[in-house]
Structure 1
Amino acid sequence: MNQIQQVKDTLARAKTKADLEAVETLIDTQERFFDIKDFRKLEEAKTWLSNFVANFEKRTIMQAQAARYSRRLGLLKRSIKWNLGALVAGVLFIYIWHGTGWLRL
């Protein structure tokens, strides 16, 4: 999120094509996704890049939420499994203890 905020700040301060090329280098992608020369106006390129960063931020947030959800679900399942195992083991220990004859009432 800090990197996304850094890109947004740099993009907001961009005034020239060189500034936009610097923003493009901040975005860590395997391939160049656009060429600034393709855009007629600087504002057009800036708007496109801003939309790209906003969409990337939304995808990143959604992926983080999905990962957090799946991790919580996995922890909940593991907790239920261990607690049920402990309950069954406790009941069996009491049953065995009762069967040994140590309990005389």
Structure 2
Amino acid sequence: MDPLGRWSLVAWWNAWLSGWFRLLGRSYSAADRAVEADARISLNKLMEEIREAHRDWENARRHFEYASGKDQIDYAIFAIEAAEKRYEMLLRHAKNLQVDWKVRQQEADAG
């Protein structure tokens, strides 16, 4: 049996939030809309971060092509590896969210 008896933590949290929203005179659906808006903003920020990381990666590769001398080459290699890691991390994060990114991109282009 769970530690809260018949209430799971999620059910308890939902009941608690609903009570507070009733006290504040707001409906729970208003809170849902606010959460959806925050999620939409977060997804848009993530998409922009991915684009920025890709640009950084391309710039690091370009810098490597024009590097001269051992120190500049070493720095360029370090910058490429760091940019790749950041780009891969953001892509993994986006993949784990299981969002239809084609639809998100169309919404972003339209809006």
Q: TM-score when scaled to structure 1?
A: 0.41
Structure (1 or 2) with the larger CA radius of gyration:
1
Q: TM-score when scaled to structure 2?
A: 0.39
Q: Which has the higher contact order (CA 8 A, sep 6+)?
A: 1
